[in-house]
Chains A and B, each alone.
Chain A
Amino acid sequence: LAKTTQPISMDSYEGQEVNITCSHNNIATNDYITWYQQFPSQGPRFIIQGYKTKVTNEVASLFIPADRKSSTLSLPRVSLSDTAVYYCLVGNTGGFKTIFGAGTRLFVKA
């Protein structure tokens, strides 16, 4: 199973764009990259999923370079409510069967 590496924590201010990068050097050909968000006392919530290049939805964008050994979750214009833990997962069964790391704790300040 591919292991992922993310920064432990990040700080930002309201209105800024936040980019969280995840390293997954051992990603397999049929693996997808999935990001989840988790607020305190809640279960993780799906944000975005991609295989290559760029994926965008109403919440975020996911950038994946050609070698797929890393990916970047981009949150445009964050607000205080985006303060949460963000998990990067790599796998071929929805991403969630693979290992959740410790995630990245994002703190958004006013």
Chain B
Amino acid sequence: EAGVAQSPRYKIIEKRQSVAFWCNPISGHATLYWYQQILGQGPKLLIQFQNNGVVDDSQLPKDRFSAERLKGVDSTLKIQPAKLEDSAVYLCASSLQGSTMNTEAFFGQGTRLTVV
């Protein structure tokens, strides 16, 4: 089966510019996650969707980050304006369900963002 698809793989932008990342989860997966992984650290959850509703966005810097999941399938994560400290790998993951049951999460390869 196809895995989680993310694009682009790499992106370099100047600070104060905006950028968007796209994620296509595994077909049929209701839950979608966006993580930020700074070099040398573990992934940090930014936002979790259940279908097209937000379940958890407590760690999303809402002054500059936004995310949406249209029709409960694809998702986009946007940063506007970007700061130097936003340089990281942005990972998308999906799972069959993520509320009360434990299920395996499948991660994409990520988008490496460099802000200069």
Contact = CB atoms under 8 A, between A and B. Distances in A.
- Contact residues of A: prevailing secondary structure: loop
B105 A103 contact: no
B75 interface: no
Interface in A25-70: 32, 34, 41-46, 49
A49 B40 contact: no
B104 interface: yes
Range, interface on chain A: 20 to 34
20 contacts: A41-B112, A42-B109, A42-B110, A43-B91, A44-B43, A44-B91, A44-B93, A46-B104, A46-B106, A93-B98, A93-B99, A93-B102, A94-B95, A96-B33, A96-B95, A97-B56, A100-B43, A100-B44, A102-B40, A102-B41
